[in-house]
Amino acid sequence: MIKRSEKNTKIAIRNLYKIFGADPESVLGYVRDGMSKAELLEKHNHVLGLNNINVDVKEGDITVMMGLSGSGKSTLIRHLNRLIEPTAGEVDLDGVNIVDLSGKELRRLRREEMSMVFQHFALLPHRTVLENAGMPMDVRGVPKSEFEDEANKWLDRVGLKGVGDQYPFQLSGGMQQRVGIARALCSNAPVMLMDEAFSALDPLIRTDMQELLLELQSELQKTVVFISHDLDEALKLADHLVILKDGYVVQQGEPQEILIAPNDDYIVDFISDINRARVLRVRSVMEKTERPPENPAGEVDENDNLESVIARSEGETALTYIVTRNGKQIGTLKMTNLVKALVPTAASEEGLRTSAV
């Protein structure tokens, strides 16, 4: 695995503010001085959408932005292709601030650099599935006879062979979203923005779609920005996880780090209900050392999840395993540490949990 710091930064969000209301500039100062969302609404009747966001989106990563409803996820992702204009701050794509782009340059960016998948699919109801999938090329002026092959290729790739002549309303929700993904891929843009792309789907179909996305991702290595309000989904997909609350970033980092060391009660609440044994990896709870332990119980890979290790240990807590990367030792794992890691950091503080429910 390449270290995050070594990856190229594709999109850099810098000091981004967004305030909704009659005169956002006039109240920006209060927000910079630390006024909260609730106070701003009450005293100045403006809605704080985004509050000093700084995020690096790395090339080839899936960056997941997560937060409760109203935390500003949709607002943030729409700044990346400037569907919403920021009140202050910048968004750099490959080092160019897109806030400064002219209308024409912005259209080129939307056509060639970024594609988007929407929560409610947003297909064109009067066009066939094929025409929908080929829409990004159609927008660039490519005639249908020429984009047909490309569109069909991506429809096949997302598992929709042979429905090209149908209309979107004839497809199920899951199939419509596959068209949405095919459309995004057909634009051949390196960046793909996905706003709660799977939230409107049934749980089973949703899992299928997550698999599909991971599969496509290992093949295509797009830079994906994915919005979700579902922690399981976020953990499954994320290389980098950004947690938003009331328009500001509460914590961001590798998902494992956030699980092990949440820095806010808000996040503790979030993560308290998940199956930690399944999500946590050995590498997150091991001790880093190259010295072999005394009488090791065996070897585990750094990316195994804790559940599999527990199954292997048959519940025995006195064991110590050697942790390997590509067959070489990089650390040791004591079962006692593993069990401790299963307890959410603040789960013992029952009060905090129940008060949140």
Partner 1 sequence: MATYDFVFRALGLERWCTSGGDNAAPMSMEALVAQSSGEEASTSIWELPFPSMDRLNDACQAFPQSRNVTRGLEQGFLNVKDSMSVVLDPLTQPLSWMLEAALYGILNTPWWIVIPGLMLIVWLVSKSWQLLAFVAISLGGLAFIDYYSYAMQTLAIIMVCAFLCVLFGVPIGIAMSRSDKMRAGTIPILDMLQTLPPFVYLIPLIFLFSVTEPKLYGIAIILYAIVPVIRLTDLGIRMVDESVIEAAEAFGMTDRQKLYGVQIPLALPNIMAGVNQTIMMSLAMVVIASLVSAPGLGVLVLRGINNLELGVGLVSGLGIVLLAVMLDRTTKAALNRINASQKG
Ligand X SMILES: Nc1ncnc2c1ncn2[C@@H]1O[C@H](COP(=O)(O)OP(=O)(O)OP(=O)(O)O)[C@@H](O)[C@H]1O
Query: Residues 60, 217: contact at Cβ < 8 Å?
Result: no
**Interacting positions 183-202 with partner 1 (CB under 8 A):** 183, 187, 193
Question: Pick from 27, 63, 72, 223: which binds ligand X (CB under 6 A)?
Answer: 72
Task: State the nearest-atom distance from the C-beta of 82 to ligand X, in Å.
Answer: 15
Sign of CA dihedral 255, 260, 263, 264: positive
Task: State the nearest-atom distance from the C-beta of 109 to partner 1, in Å.
Answer: 8
Task: State the nearest-atom distance from the C-beta of 56 to ligand X, in Å.
Answer: 20
Cβ neighbors of 66 (< 8 A, separation 6 or more) are: 73, 227, 228, 229, 230, 231, 234, 241, 242, 243, 244, 270
Token pair listed for 265: 């009660």
**Residue 229, interface with ligand X (CB under 6 A)?**
yes
Cβ neighbors of 357 (< 8 A, separation 6 or more) are: none
Q: Is 75 or 128 the residue whose CB approaches ligand X more closely?
A: 75
**Residue 74, interface with Mg ion (CB under 5 A)?**
yes
Query: Residues 82, 113: contact at Cβ < 8 Å?
Result: no
Q: Which does 169 bind (CB under 5 to 8 A by kind): ligand X, partner 1, Mg ion, none?
A: partner 1
Of 281, 206, 249, whose CA–CA distance to 63 is shortest?
A: 249
Query: Residues 180, 117: contact at Cβ < 8 Å?
Result: yes
How many Å apart are CA 142 and CA 148, to the nearest integer? Answer: 10
Amino acid at the residue 24: P
Binding mask 31-70 for ligand X (x = CB under 6 A): ----------------x-x-----------------x-xx
Task: State the nearest-atom distance from the C-beta of 112 to partner 1, in Å.
Answer: 8
Token pair listed for 213: 């996305």
What phi, psi does 171 have (nearest 5°)? -105, 155
**Residue 73, interface with ligand X (CB under 6 A)?**
yes
Cα-only R_g, the chain = 23
**Residue 341, interface with partner 1 (CB under 8 A)?**
no
How many Å apart are CA 164 and CA 171, to the nearest integer? Answer: 11
Task: State the nearest-atom distance from the C-beta of 290 to Mg ion, in Å.
Answer: 46
**Interacting positions 66-95 with partner 1 (CB under 8 A):** 81, 83
**Residue 109, interface with partner 1 (CB under 8 A)?**
yes
Annotate 82-92 with b (16+ C-beta within 10 A) or e (fewer). bebebbbbbbb
**Residue 28, interface with ligand X (CB under 6 A)?**
no
How many Å apart are CA 44 and CA 39, to the nearest integer? Answer: 8
Q: Is 48 or 175 the residue whose CB approaches ligand X more closely?
A: 48
Question: Pick from 71, 128, 217, 320: which binds ligand X (CB under 6 A)?
Answer: 71
**Residue 75, interface with ligand X (CB under 6 A)?**
yes
Of 292, 274, 278, whose CA–CA distance to 331 is shortest?
A: 292
Torsion of CA 259, 261, 267, 270, to 10 degrees: 30
Question: Pick from 123, 151, 163, 209: which binds partner 1 (CB under 8 A)?
Answer: 123
Q: Is 89 or 134 the residue whose CB approaches partner 1 more closely?
A: 134
Task: State the nearest-atom distance from the C-beta of 42 to partner 1, in Å.
Answer: 29
Residue 63, strand partner residues: 225, 240
Q: Is 118 or 321 the residue whose CB approaches partner 1 more closely?
A: 118
Task: State the nearest-atom distance from the C-beta of 163 to ligand X, in Å.
Answer: 29
Task: State the nearest-atom distance from the C-beta of 50 to Mg ion, in Å.
Answer: 13
Residues that bind Mg ion (CB under 5 A): 74
Residues that bind partner 1 (CB under 8 A): 81, 83, 106-112, 114-116, 118-120, 122-126, 135-136, 138-140, 167, 169, 183, 187, 193
Residues that bind ligand X (CB under 6 A): 20, 47, 49, 67, 69-75, 229
